[in-house]
Chains A and B, each alone.
Chain A
Amino acid sequence: MSNTALLPSRSRSGKAVRRRPGVGKSVSVALLVLGAIGMIAPFLWMFTTSLRDAGHAYDLPPQWLPTEWDWSNYAGAVTGPVPILRNMFNSAVIAIAVSIGMIITAPMAGYAFAKLDFPGRNSIFVGLLSSLMVPAQVTIIPLFLLMRTFGLLDNPLSLILPGITGALGVFLLRQFFLGLPQEIIDAARMDGATAWQTYRLIALPLAKNAVSTLGVITFLGSWNAYFAPSIFLNSTDTATLPLGLVLMLGPYGAGNVAQVMAATTIAIAPALIVFLVAQRWIIASLTQSAVKG
């Protein structure tokens, strides 16, 4: 833009700039470290508290590193009055069913919207996308009545059925398939592959990463869900893990803190695994919709 003014000032300001980032950088790192500690400390406290005798759960000054390695709170948590293991199983069943459904339905629809030509294609896609602005709170009452009519309240199907399709997954996969060269598709069709074979044998394998990411995001979303489960499920045996933990915590945090933290540690494990294994994919797909748009 201002190329003409560049040359004369280059050497002078170049020196000044070089000194400042040195100071700036260490201040930055210090602030970032402080922030990062703030992000991680609560989890650290959760974990060390889960390893402590309940009587010492609230010891002050707080001990940030484990003072003892007592796993009995974990045993206590899973054998307590709230059937945490059962709740975890419920959560897992729902999350797995929803993820499997989603990674079947969303790539198919995403592929159709990206690569197949059919009347009404764009209007249908826009209609689907518009569902992203319908908050769960506005549909929850009719959904509750629907589930009640079909006897699905207090049944995992009330969460699985609405979960196996969704516009976000379709959007993500459509983005991926749009990037796929049309020649690949056409070549397969010319070789005599049916539309289904082209999709199943050519396009879908290429979308492996996008599909895995969608599966992971969907699993985590379902595993973490609270609002709909809290309305559709109302017994401790059908409750999902988040509901079980809230029950265990009791009103005003009256429950056994060390055991609650042990159960919370278990509940967070899937997020931690996803974080360690798939962080990069998730970040890529989360940012793609925002930045390239």
Chain B
Amino acid sequence: MTMTASKTALPPAPASGRGGRPGQQSAARRREALTGYLFTAPTVIGFLVFILGPLVAALYLSLTKYNILTAPKFVGFDNYARMFRDERLATTYGNTVLYVGAAVVLINGFALLFTVLINQRLPRALTYVFRSAYFFPYLVALVYVSIIWQALFQKDTGILNYYITALGGERIDWLNSSEFSKVSVIVVDTWRNVGFAMLIFVAALQEVPKDMVEAARMDGANEWQIFRSIVLPMISQATFFNITITIIGAFQIYESIIVLTRGGPGDASRSVVMYIAEVAFNKFDMGYASAIAVTLFLIIMLVTMVQFRLRKSWVNNE
């Protein structure tokens, strides 16, 4: 690229431009490389100090016993072995996996449903209003929406139970029963994230050629067949992206639970991230907490790598 550019821009020395001035060429290249390093330096330093360094440190700490007060003591894989005997870890990981499963199914299911509904050549203004309404919760901090929802979830004074009893149902103890505390967390998580997934689906759906759908319809395909055989395959990349994002997000679920249930009753709704924070910053068992965090990292890395492999490389797109 730079070759051709310099040839056209230096008409006085066209023939000798390439071979004749190697010194100048390489000086320019060196300057460009230096500029590249300088431009990327802040980001690279930030990456080394605040991500890669801490990651390596976490891997090391996970092999130690460390309570902050005395120096870390190397214990090999003891922390990892300990995880298999830790019932609280099993409970919190179990809850987290439930949140992940629910997120994948509910967020993407609802998002796909609303996407299909909104994609019916409605008036533009209406589409815009709907899309905005569904997307807004995603912009609001999870803490804030959880604060609102915990009020709606109150057993005796909450609006949800008011409508449930008005319809003849029983009051539900949303926040303090071991089953429904999990349900509450799932409701808030789904409610907040549907709009984002929907956004991705709508954008992908716009890439589906209209004539192809039209042709299939002319051929007598019904809406379900069109959806199943044309639309779904064409938005598979978006679906895949959404599933990855929801898995990663749900594995890290934290503040909504703090606001809604505090992890309770007992550990009934506690997520693994809450457990990591407790072990690290209440019990100062930094080594063990790091080991748990490393397992979370491995899971998220695995999910992301699968996503990376199954779609075209991010680096080579133009």
Mark A residues whose CB is within 8 Å of B. 1-3, 5-6, 9-10, 13-14, 17, 20-21, 24-25, 28-29, 31-32, 35-36, 38-40, 42-43, 45-46, 49, 58, 60-62, 104-106, 108-109, 111-113, 116-119, 121-122, 124-129, 131-146, 161-162, 164-167, 170-171, 178, 182-183, 186, 189-190, 195-196, 199, 220, 223-227, 230-231, 242, 245-246, 249, 251-253, 257, 260-261, 264, 267-268, 271-272, 274-275, 279, 282-283, 286-287, 290-293
Contact = CB atoms under 8 A, between A and B. Distances in A.
A200 to B, nearest CB: 11
Contacts of B318: 178
B58 A141 contact: yes
Interface stretch (B16-24, B82-90, B99-107, B127-135): B127-135
B254 interface: yes
A117 B144 contact: no
B251 A6 contact: no
A170 B43 CA distance: 8
Contact of B120 (A24, A242, A272): A24
Contacts of A166: 43, 46
Interface string B11-52: 000000000000000000101111111011011111100111
B44 to A, nearest CB: 7
A32 B152 contact: no
B80 interface: no
Given A135-B296, A142-B61, A62 B36 contact: no
A130 B44 CA distance: 12
B299 to A, nearest CB: 9
Given A134-B51, A286-B196, A190 B9 contact: yes
B136 A39 contact: yes
Given A161-B50, A279-B135, 11 more contacts: A39-B136, A106-B43, A129-B314, A135-B293, A138-B294, A141-B280, A182-B5, A224-B144, A275-B135, A290-B242, A293-B241
B264 to A, nearest CB: 9
A142 B297 CA distance: 14
Interface string B202-220: 0110010000100111111
Interface residues of B, number: 118
A116 B32 contact: yes
Nearest to B255: A226
B135 A112 contact: no
Nearest to B131: A283
A165 B191 contact: no
Contacts of B150: 249, 253
